[in-house]
Structure 1
Amino acid sequence: MPTIRPFRSKTARVATASERTLPSYTAGQVEMPLRIIGSQEAMEHETYWSEHSHPTHELLWREAGVGTVTIDQRTWTITPPLGMWIPAGVRHSGWTPAGVVVYAAQFSLDNPLVSDRPTAIAITPLLRLLLDRLQHTDPGTSSYSLTEAMILDVMTPADNELLLHMPSNPLIAPIANAIIEGPADASSLQDWARKLGISGRTITRAFEAETGLGFGRWATTARVQHAVSMISLGGEVDEAAAGVGYRSVSAFTTAFKRITGTTPGQFRPSAN
């Protein structure tokens, strides 16, 4: 299985990739005829969405596979257990690999706010069932209205999220880019300090100041995020572990649980 690179730069994109440009709206600029409108699309090609914004709140999720949403320097990974809530008017870009079905729901502004900021959403079996039911129910019926109300009642922020803040500080940006492009490189803090001719303490302070995480936690988060993409697209756990630089599955699982709160197996398509 080829390595999945959701953070790949434009220059590294494959020839079959597609880029879409969508308009940017302010919150409420367009009125919705319903409280919630769902949609789905099977992606024939790897697809990138340039930065845009919606007049409505948006929920993105997957039945299988992955995707990413980027807002400023922050990138969230969407997986079957984790959807993404994007408030109206928030500018964002996205990525999805080929072969994945993209599910989305637009929420009118008169709905209760799940969150006033971008937030990972727990896609529970019940929420998944209700979202599917909405897509197969005639709008305007009492059943549709009841399903809308139930969705709003059960949709809650996730306990954990796969979020990575990419630093722009020129001192540490080369480190972050190297880890994203080569997650199997297990260079330590001391290794990077020697390569760059600065102290490990300086590197740690720079990461903490810009991302809120020390170097070790940031690097582990980046590697786990990459591993989740591999697993969610059908890769084996041991393959993902090796692909992000872990020599044993047990060490990988420990690090994985520390970041996500659950085991790698929960992100396999068959587990959802």
Structure 2
Amino acid sequence: MAIRDLRPTSAGELFIGGAARRGTVDSRRLPLYAAGEIDVPFVISGQDEVISRDTLWEKHSHPTHELLWNQRGASSAAIGMRVWTITPTVGLWIPAGIPHSGWTPTGTWHRAAQFSIHAVPSISDDPVAVDITPLLGLLLGRLNTDGLTADSRAKTEAIVLDLIAPAQHELFLQIPESSLLAPIVAAVRADPAETTTLATWATRLGVSTRTLTRAFRFETGLGFSQWLATARVQHAVSMLTRGDEIDEVAACVGYHSVSAFSTAFRRIVGMSPGRFRAQ
């Protein structure tokens, strides 16, 4: 069979299910800044917004370090060919100057904080997940309120900087770039319950299972089954964050039992789906 090139051609195509290609999307364009290109007058500056329409943030970069998280809902950020999931408990630290795009569904309470590169060293040279603990969330929220004295702001900022650290678990999906794997990627991301086996895919694509296994390992660092589990869990996180029931989520992402789903979820996220949903 002839396989057309299904590799992503735009920021929107990197996000699960092709949602960013719908006609009701609010597409936002922001500048591409180099790290430190603008000298900002703050140490930490916060913003928040309740998103009223599905929103695609076109590729952009900041002169500051950025921390993204949500007060409510799950969103995504794409950096290169990695798609990260952002929730109320797991944020994403993006060092200054790194281009990224984003996808924020309707109803998400989106939050972000910018950090001056002259006052705050990056916690990592690369984008990295950050645990948004209740204390950290409260302190970041305090910085976004009016009436703080200079002394109170400085003390709050110092505690925030002491608390921010890379998370032990992070949820991102490396999207293969080769045309060989593109049909598999497109099918799984359109429907996480996709059950086509690697052997069947090999037959369809006219290659051996060994070739596909090597390709997945080379492009993503994971075997096919691990990559598939991560794609499913990433979708499950979005469903759990909006309050869907665990058994419904398990079925929607291709698991025949809640226990099998829970095992995969715990291995990737570091906690059970029940605990994650409660948080």
TM-score by length of 1: 0.93
Indicate the residue corresponding to 1:38 in structure 2.
46
- Give the alignment partner of residue 76 of structure 2, picking from 37, 44, 68: 68
Question: Which consecutive segments of 4 or more residues in structure 1 shift more than 3 A?
Answer: 8-12, 137-140
Indicate the residue corresponding to 2:240 in structure 1.
231
What secondary structure sits across from 2:113 in the alignment? strand
CA contact (8 A) 1:84 1:119 kept: yes
Distance 1:183 1:244 in 2: 5
- Give the alignment partner of residue 16 of structure 1, picking from 18, 21, 24: 24
Indicate the residue corresponding to 2:11 in structure 1.
none
Deviations 1:73-108 (A, max 9, x none): 111000111100001100000000001111000000
Long gaps (5+) in structure 1: none
- Give the alignment partner of residue 162 of structure 2, picking from 153, 159, 162: 153
CA contact (8 A) 1:137 1:143 kept: no
- Give the alignment partner of residue 253 of structure 1, picking from 227, 239, 262: 262
Return the letter of the residue paired with 1:245: G
Greater shift, 81-90 or 127-136, is seen at 127-136
Distance 2:20 2:26 in 1: 13
Shift of 1:31: 1.2
CA contact (8 A) 1:137 1:144 kept: no
Deviations 1:207-263 (A, max 9, x none): 011111111100110011011111111211111111111111111001111111111
Distance 2:32 2:61 in 1: 4
CA contact (8 A) 2:20 2:103 kept: no
Return the letter of the residue paired with 1:99: G
* Identity in percent: 52
Is 2:10 the partner of 1:28? no
Distance 2:110 2:104 in 1: 8
Long gaps (5+) in structure 2: 1-13
Distance 1:96 1:11 in 2: 9
Indicate the residue corresponding to 2:110 in structure 1.
102
Matches within 5 A, 1:1-272: 6-9=15-18, 12-13=21-22, 15-110=23-118, 111-138=120-147, 141-268=150-277, 271-272=278-279
Return the letter of the residue paired with 2:163: V
Shift of 1:8: 3.5
Distance 1:60 1:234 in 2: 21
Shift of 1:128: 1.0
Distance 1:112 1:219 in 2: 35
Shift of 1:139: 5.4
What secondary structure sits across from 1:84 in the alignment? strand
**Residues paired across the two proteins, number:** 265
Distance 1:116 1:139 in 2: 31
Shift of 1:201: 1.1
Distance 2:126 2:210 in 1: 32
Return the letter of the residue paired with 2:232: R
Distance 1:137 1:262 in 2: 36
Distance 1:105 1:31 in 2: 16
Distance 2:177 2:256 in 1: 30
Deviations 1:51-94 (A, max 9, x none): 00000000001122101010111110001111000011000000
Distance 2:184 2:122 in 1: 37
CA-based RMSD: 1.5
Shift of 1:195: 2.2
Indicate the residue corresponding to 2:10 in structure 1.
none
CA contact (8 A) 2:128 2:166 kept: yes
Deviations 1:101-122 (A, max 9, x none): 1100000002132112101111
Return the letter of the residue paired with 1:250: S
